[in-house]
Amino acid sequence: MSLWQRLLNALGFPVAPRLSFHTDVELIQSLQAVADREQRHTDEVANALLSSALAQWQATDHNMLQWRALTPREQDVTALICLGFTNRAIADRLEVSPETIKTHVRHILHKYAVSNKAELRQVLDDWDFSAWVD
């Protein structure tokens, strides 16, 4: 069974009798160089890299779905939290009460299934919220 068939099987997809794809020579050479350097089989390295990339894609997709579930105001608050603003600074900036911000924060943390703002920042660490800075 090929690497791709094993991967599809592991992901719960029916295994096709034969799966083929085209890759560029540089990609194959890079994969071989990593395998040689790590003294591992090329299939093993390719499987590990693909699994890692899929996990990252799934996490990014999940975060985007959570983002879309936020109200526009919750999106503003989330962005400002990730930019390091305090609740008081967010309240001042959005011209609402700190209690309103606390409520938004509670809803945001629940929607992202995190316990605190530090965890939220970590989950969205690679997002660019610079558009929220004037």
Single pTM value for the model: 0.68
Query: Which comes out higher in pLDDT, residue 43 or 105?
Result: 105
Per-residue pLDDT at 30: 87
Q: pLDDT band for 130, please (50, 70, 90 cuts).
A: very high
Instruction: Report whether pLDDT(53) > 90.
Output: no
State the span(s) of the chain assigned CATH 1.10.10.10: 70-132
DSSP assignment of 39-68 equals T--HHHHHHHHHHHHHHHHHHHHHHHHHHH
**70-132 fold:** Arc Repressor Mutant, subunit A (1.10.10)
- How does pLDDT run across 73-92, given as a tens digit for each residue? 999 999 999 999 999 999 99
